[in-house]
Amino acid sequence: MSNPDGSQALVLVVDDEPSICWGFERMLQQEGHRVVTASSAEEGLRIAAEQRPALVVLDVRLPGEDGLSALPRFLEVTHQAPVIVMTAFGDLQTAVGAVQRGATDYLTKPFQLDTALQACRSAIQLSQNAALNAAQNNAQVDANRAARPPRGERLVGKSPAMQQAFRLIAMVADSDLSVLITGETGTGKELVAAAVHQHSTRRAGPYLPVAPVTFSAELLESELFGHARGAYTGAVQDRAGVFEMAKGGTLFLDEIGDLPIPTQIKLLRVLETGQYSRVGEATPRQSDVRILAATNSDLGVAVAEGRFRKDLFYRLNSVHIHLPPLRERIEDIELLAHHFLRESGREDAETAMDASFIEQLCQRPWHGNVRELRNAIERAAVLARGRPLSVADIPPPEQHHAPTTVGALDQAVAAWCQQALQRFADENGAKGGVHEELLRQVEPILFRIALEHTGGNRARAADLLGMHRGTLRERLRSYDLEN
């Protein structure tokens, strides 16, 4: 057992790899702790029952009984000592299964020693706090509750970034903390939100995803909070908003960076007080939802520019899960490609793509990230008609045309201006108007390209263009480009 004064703790490491045991032994002994090791779950349980360690570090893949199935008994014989689970085969199901069976933390091999040491320090501190105050031992987890598999699409990845995402999902799922999910378009932010809900205590309740950008500013608050009859023209009856409809469940706000400031203030009130009011109604209502939010823009920049409230940012950012673009986790491409091909109905997914095909996939930029890869594999599966997939079956990579040289651009603009100046001089005398005409010619093209570049995200497009989002919205409306 650990001493209440924290001077030393006994740590049990259960792993059939001697190098892992040796590494933990050296690392923890330098911290002043005592370490015992076991190479199987059965041996580890016997030592745990005899010596009552303050911390158990438990591998999943062991000879005989595996670590996950033995985890509840380690908790039982150690009287709920913290357990850190290790695995070389990390996925979301393993992470959630470990945490739901009572694991304190989760490490994916190979891991950095600093990461493992920090996890051990935190777990030992938790154990010592529990020894000083037994009343804190109310965090026991029902070991008989198995992890429910996600329905439909699921997260896939073996990269360190995805393993960290799995770990965070598992650790926060059963809390009611707000979660901010960031990443480029197509990286899987909504899948993360759905996974948090599916593994939470609210999973029996509704899960409602809402994209504020799809609503006008006038209708957005009604969509979120509902409205009373007569609140505005067209409000002919009372209407519940998603905060009411998601009662007992989870509300996912996609592209949260697009929220107008007045709506941000009302959302902050919900997060701080748990209360909201319908539009046109003064009576406060109690909220019973967990809020998950996602964005593909940099909210820190939005805060600095005054487009997003700092207090709301801090409230939403209780837990931050970042999904990197696919080009930064190339090791996941083959895994994802096999997964998508299996989902398309190909039973020979493991052999239908040869090494050359996978290499070609890994060399592509995948600007649309996982969504683009999925679409490419589904298209290839249809075109291949049962034969092995080839590069010809997937869409060609996006072509990046060389930009027009500065000299050529200068010449083109100069020629247009000369013609326009002459035309306006002939037609309007000294009145002019060339500047406005140039904007009318150039801005629609510029706006279309900016929106294509950002996947339709107006807030990000406005950032790139150096203008306020409201200004961009008005310009788009003037050019009939709102859709």
- 144 to each of 97, 148, 444, how far by Cα in Å? 11, 12, 60
pLDDT tens, residue by residue, 75-127: 888 888 899 998 876 677 777 778 878 888 888 888 888 888 988 988 888 77
- Residue 136: what pLDDT? 30
Domains of the chain: 10-136 (3.40.50.2300), 173-322 (3.40.50.300), 327-393 (1.10.8.60), 406-478 (1.10.10.60)
Residue 26 tokens, joined: 């050296």
pLDDT tens, residue by residue, 253-262: 999 998 889 9
Using the 8-state DSSP alphabet, how is residue 12 labeled? E
CA-based nearest residue to 255, from 309, 196, 212: 212
pLDDT tens, residue by residue, 198-223: 889 999 999 999 888 777 777 888 88
- Residue 418: what pLDDT? 66
Q: First and final CA of the chain: distance in angstroms?
A: 65
pLDDT tens, residue by residue, 4-52: 444 588 999 999 988 889 989 889 988 889 999 999 999 999 999 888 8
Q: pLDDT-based confidence at 402, cuts 50/70/90?
A: very low
Share of the chain above pLDDT 70, in %: 84
Angle at 260 between CA 258 and CA 264, to 5 degrees: 100
**Considering the chain, what is the average pLDDT of its residues?**
81
Q: Which helix (H) or strand (E) holds 290?
A: strand 290-295
pLDDT(56) > 80: yes
- Residue 2: what pLDDT? 42
Q: Which helix (H) or strand (E) holds 444?
A: helix 434-453
Share of the chain above pLDDT 90, in %: 30
pLDDT tens, residue by residue, 306-331: 899 999 999 999 899 999 999 999 99
The partner residues of 13 in beta bridges, in order of sequence, read: 37, 57
- 3-class secondary-structure state, position 62: coil
CA-based nearest residue to 243, from 286, 284, 191, 189: 286
pLDDT tens, residue by residue, 354-385: 999 999 999 999 988 999 999 999 888 888 88
d(CA 249, CA 254): 16
The answer to whether the beta carbons of residues 185 and 455 sit under 8 Å apart is yes
